[in-house]
Chains A and B, each alone.
Chain A
Amino acid sequence: MKFAVKKALSSGGARVGVLEVGSCPAPIETPALLLATRKGLPHFISPDLLPSLPSPDSNLLQVSPLHFLEGLSTTTISKIGGLHQMLGLQQHGIAAVPRDSIQCLPESKAATKLGASFETPCGRLLIKPKDYVEMISCMQPNIWASLADEVPAWVSEKRNKTSVDRTLRWLDDCISLYPAAGSIFGAIVGGTNLEERKRCAEEVAKRNVSGYWIGGFGLGEGIDERPALLRAVIDILPDEKPRLTCGLGLPEEILQGIAAGIDLFDSTYIYSLTVGGFALTFSLDNSREQHSLQSDQIGSDLTKINLRATAYRKDMSPILENCTCYTCKNHTKAYINHLLNVHEMLAQILLEIHNTHHFLRFFHVIRTAIRDGSFEEFRQAFLESRREHFKGEAIST
């Protein structure tokens, strides 16, 4: 894996970089999105439909090794030849991170000095560094995060400090157990405590890692607490190594992360939208023009539409007129509305395709703005536009 910063804003923070990951056909520009997966494949998009997504933007996947504990031994995965071979995704970059924020969630109460604990569909699992490294060595992802003890924002200072101690110890275990691995990203935790965050970052920065996985977010901290925590961590980290976070999923959170200097994001936003029957529609150009307002009685707003709403029963237009995704080029809102009504899984497939496409385009637009030097304006305009429908409501009542 190779990473280089191409342009950084003079004000610090947001930067455009280039990531070269072994198997990908072309270098990937950052900030970039890692697509969420279940057992290595997207939740709904069949692998043969992946090439219809923008490339190489869509070539980065996040995979949780814990998913395979349900039914597939590491020996078998090894025998098949690792994740890329097993998933038929030889041209994709895979980042292994235990936490997937949907079904594999850190359970801090059950973690011990021996390992991290996760709630998973197979029950509560204690994952020790040795077992984790064995999974990684069989799976051979391109990037992997070291094992972390993530804690929610409300734990005691003592517990928080312990989580940093354990995370550092486990990082050392991971490095010593598998030095020849794909690129290891050192995990940085510390909850909402600035000092602990700094301590953890300093220690991790001393280790020989290829990048940083900044965890412990999306676990109860306030969105306004985050900038300071991110800043504290990133100021300590070297510029030339990539930074991946977990748990910053919404567009606003992504913008927040990018402003702080994060390069890679996982997100559960697409998944949540898709299972809810929503399609992203927010404008991707810098003009403030949005689509005609749908009444928010039907759960739609300026950023997304709720395709279950009867308002779309006869709407023979695509989700977004100018969208070039498979769904918008081939299908109408009326058809998706029907599929949702009759509980057909094609609805989720079509929605995941559109939502992924749209979200990847969002990242693309952000990168352009950073390169143009207009990132801050873009960010402000974006945040304003998402609040507009609230303003409208306030005025009318």
Chain B
Amino acid sequence: MALHFEILGRFNRARAAQLTLPHFVCQTPLFMPVGTQGTIKGLTNNELERIGCQIILGNTYHLALRPTSELLEEAGGLHNFMNWPRAMLTDSGGFQMVSLLHLADITEEGVTFQSPVDGKPMLLTPEESIQIQNRIGADIIMALDDVVRTTITGPRIEEAMYRTLRWIDRCIAAHKRPHDQNLFGIVQGGLDPELRDICVKGLVERNLPGYAIGGLAGGEDKDSFWRVVAQCTAALPEDKPRYVMGVGYPLDIVVCSALGADMYDCVYPTRTARFGTALVPEGVLKLKHRAMAEDTRPIDPTCPCMVCKNYTRAYIHCLVTKDAMGSQLLSYHNLYYMMRLSRNLHSSIVEGRFPEFVCDFLRTMFPKGDVPEWVCNAMEVAGIDISSCCAPFPPCQENDSSNELERFDKVKIEI
């Protein structure tokens, strides 16, 4: 084990912690920007540091293709190659293969696919994935899992879950650097609570440094999504970090943090920036919209980032989708927003004002009180009272206002 996880504050299931990794000491909950090919699109290292990025993600599949893991090893690892002084996480490569490659197929051996370079049949085994990640040298590496989309049903899900457990042993055996790289296992099992439970127990038995909740963020309905997260966070060990892969939207991160998750990654903030969309407390702001051409306010008046302090919506509007600078500035702001969210989650938990933070967040995002039902349900399980953010009518469900509800007998309330 090459990490140290110390919880500094709690509110019910939510926790704020210090995660000490070989390259950096991090504060959780935290969001990890995705630097697919050894760079976060359009941002330099010193900008990333200034924004407050603690861990960045590299995609093993892309890096193995270019510049290759052997070259990275020769360069002293990806940290050295990119000159990134803080922490890094690499995924296993499996997900990209399955999602990007035509004719990728999963067998007991590993993921078979057609090489995108020359079309030759190739195989990514758990052993190979770990070896590549050993060469890349990130602080956290991910086990190769058999990942199945939650929108699929049937025996495939069970097969994938058991295979993931068999593969974790192969990953562990192949891992040559347990003293400076932390191998996280990934909980699979689709939306089936029994399968998820078996998987969690199986992984926990292996006593890994940390655990990820995989197979989500793939199109499943939100109600199923939060329940899987809730179940897993309840069952995973307290004293180890929990990483929900592929999440995501700020709202999802707040809910998952309330339920006890610590780490997140998603391409959303940077990708949406390239389409001209900014993240703001109210939701999103589409800078491409014609109305922005005359709007001389900053993107987010509450945001202290370089972009919001210096530029107007009107100016950014004239840049977006036409000039690279537009994407750069929006990526900068969006990542700043995510880091600020991470910092706020951490500090509000540590300072004992987490419920207030959550309510503030929801009130700003849903000024009419139309907080989605799944959020209300999740917050109930998380033990956070958000009634002050919700309008008295459905879809939100109340905890203890049954007296009030009796009066509205015309309205059908779902429980």
B39 touches A86 (CB 8 A): no
Of A46, A76, A314, A350, the contact of B328 (CB 8 Å cutoff): A46
B66 touches A346 (CB 8 A): no
A335 touches B328 (CB 8 A): no
A46 touches B41 (CB 8 A): no
Contacts A71-B317, A314-B71 given; does A344 touch B324 at CB 8 Å: no
How far is A350 from B41 in the complex, measured between Cα atoms in Å? 12
A46 touches B325 (CB 8 A): yes
How far is A77 from B289 in the complex, measured between Cα atoms in Å? 18
B 32-63 to A, binary, CB cutoff 8 A, 1 in contact else 0: 00000111011111110010000000000010
Neighbouring A residues of B323 by C-beta, 8 Å: 38-39, 43
Q: How big is the A interface, by class?
A: 35 or more
A345 touches B66 (CB 8 A): no
Neighbouring A residues of B291 by C-beta, 8 Å: none
Interface stretch of the complex, out of A188-196, A224-232, A279-287, A326-334: A326-334
How far is A86 from B38 in the complex, measured between Cα atoms in Å? 33
Of A39, A49, A342, the contact of B319 (CB 8 Å cutoff): A39
Neighbouring A residues of B314 by C-beta, 8 Å: 72, 76, 80
Neighbouring B residues of A73 by C-beta, 8 Å: 293-294
* Residue B162 at the chain A interface, CB threshold 8 Å: no
Of B38, B39, B47, the contact of A49 (CB 8 Å cutoff): B47
A345 touches B294 (CB 8 A): no
* Residue B408 at the chain A interface, CB threshold 8 Å: no
A46 touches B332 (CB 8 A): yes
Interface residues of B, CB < 8 Å — how many?
41
A313 touches B315 (CB 8 A): no
Of A38, A47, A326, A344, the contact of B306 (CB 8 Å cutoff): A47
* Residue A70 at the chain B interface, CB threshold 8 Å: yes
Of B37, B75, B81, B309, the contact of A344 (CB 8 Å cutoff): B37
* Residue A44 at the chain B interface, CB threshold 8 Å: yes
A 46-84 to B, binary, CB cutoff 8 A, 1 in contact else 0: 111100000000000000000010111100100110000
* Residue B296 at the chain A interface, CB threshold 8 Å: yes
* Residue A41 at the chain B interface, CB threshold 8 Å: yes
A 142-182 to B, binary, CB cutoff 8 A, 1 in contact else 0: 00000000000000000000000000000000000000000
Which residues from chain A sit less than 8 Å from chain B, CB to CB? Answer: 38-39, 41-44, 46-49, 68, 70-73, 76, 79-80, 86-88, 121, 313-314, 316, 326, 330-332, 334-335, 338-339, 341-342, 344-346, 348-350
5 pairs, A vs B, C-beta closer than 8 Å: A39-B315, A46-B328, A47-B310, A313-B71, A342-B66
Other 20 A-B pairs with CB < 8 A, given A41-B325, A47-B310, A326-B46 = A38-B323, A39-B325, A43-B323, A46-B328, A46-B329, A48-B50, A49-B47, A70-B322, A73-B293, A76-B294, A76-B314, A79-B296, A326-B44, A330-B45, A335-B82, A338-B37, A338-B66, A344-B41, A346-B42, A346-B43
